[in-house]
Structure 1
């Protein structure tokens, strides 16, 4: 890749990272907020994405592809079923595609390709879930949509410190996973990370800078 192309690729990645951060915080933010955060001119941004809607579709498409790749990896994993289940959920939390789902749902019109990718994602997710149920590691009354909403619940845990945010998300993911186990399952996992402090609970109400 030439130097110019490499620079263009880096700029595009910076735009996408900035767009993700901006729209997760405020789905109604103008596209100029993305350009400002990315440190690029608005004309450079429009040179790649003709509209906010196109940029939102790109973010949603990237998130779907990442989620599908994680599901495909999990379905190919022949390790202990509970280990596979926990590994997949932890990877999904770290990829944080659920934050995009929470923020972007209903904010743009999907393309046929996006709908196709979403259907593929749903199909693989159900296959993965059915495999875990067949392995008899999950409680009988759990359904696949419970997993989707649990991932969204964990994505709602947010702090200004990203390292601490990850720790807390994994703490609450562990709580949720323990509740999903088949009754009587041994080896209850200890909760990772320390519980949130009062300062961490109240910082969410501080005005955004």
Structure 2
């Protein structure tokens, strides 16, 4: 029986489109994981073995491709935050949160860049905040209430830590892939209240986000 009847061509086109989308997402996960989210999209198209026009038909802009490529890793981040909140010891929960960010960044360089580019901004009227952000806030509040986390620690310090760890990971990942752990532990010790030196005010969240977006753009122009 012939397979060229009515609708077969449409089904084949849909299957080809779905196949191309899957190849592009897989390639983006690899390229962004190796080079960060500022990697040229032409590199993604080459890795997927499709033309750049095909990539743009499936994903009209970089952000839509990033969202698709990092769906799984962002789900892991959400689960890590929930597991930290479930930890009964407030300090262990906070440390788990920090080390979890480092581990994800070490596994996937693109995750660190993604966090930098999407640094959380404080609540304003009408803001939409992802559930993982609320979970992170709950972990921090509980640690502060238990007086195991310094009172002047800000949620906006977490993306700055990610920014710092990303630099260490980029520099050392080929020769000393676990080097970031030493600096994460130094950071954690600095978060404990005993003997803590009072901090200057936290950077304004909107300015922090602008700085990280500019850093992402500078990587895109390299």
- TM-score interval (norm. to shorter): 0.5 to 0.7
Query: 1:182 Cα shift?
Result: 2.0
Contact 1:18 1:34 (C-alpha < 8 Å) held by counterparts: yes
Query: 1:169 Cα shift?
Result: 1.1
Query: 1:125 Cα shift?
Result: 1.4
Question: Which of 91-100 and 122-131 deviates more?
Answer: 91-100
Contact 1:154 1:173 (C-alpha < 8 Å) held by counterparts: yes
Matched length: 167
The TM-score normalised by the length of structure 1 is: 0.63
Greater C-alpha radius of gyration: 2
Query: 1:177 Cα shift?
Result: 0.6
What is the SS of the residue equivalent to 1:15? helix
Query: 1:122 Cα shift?
Result: 2.2
Question: Superposition RMSD on alpha carbons, in Å?
Answer: 3.4
- Partner deviation per Cα, 1:153-198 (whole Å, 9 max, x = no partner): 222213465264542211111111111112169xxxxxxxxxxxxx
- Partner deviation per Cα, 1:40-72 (whole Å, 9 max, x = no partner): 223664564344342133346555433222111
What is the SS of the residue equivalent to 1:66? helix
The TM-score normalised by the length of structure 2 is: 0.60
**Which residue pairs with 1:69 in the alignment?**
79
Are 1:131 and 2:142 an aligned pair? yes
What is the SS of the residue equivalent to 1:143? coil
Report the Cα distance in structure 1 between the residues aligned to 2:97 and 2:91, rounded to whole angstroms. Answer: 10
Structural mapping, 1:47-62, within 5 Å: 48-59=58-69, 61-62=71-72
Contact 1:98 1:155 (C-alpha < 8 Å) held by counterparts: yes
Report the Cα distance in structure 1 between the residues aligned to 2:112 and 2:100, rounded to whole angstroms. Answer: 12
Q: Which runs of 5+ in 1 are unaligned?
A: 107-114, 186-209
Report the Cα distance in structure 1 between the residues aligned to 2:132 and 2:67, rounded to whole angstroms. Answer: 16
Q: Please, which of 125, 130, 135 is the counterpart of residue 119 of structure 1?
A: 130
Q: Please, which of 133, 145, 151 is the counterpart of residue 162 of structure 2?
A: 151
Query: 1:76 Cα shift?
Result: 1.4
- Partner deviation per Cα, 1:73-116 (whole Å, 9 max, x = no partner): 111122x33222222211111112333222x459xxxxxxxx74
Query: 1:149 Cα shift?
Result: 1.8
Inter-CA distance 7–58: structure 2 relative to 1 (3 Å threshold)? closer
Report the Cα distance in structure 1 between the residues aligned to 2:149 and 2:94, rounded to whole angstroms. Answer: 10
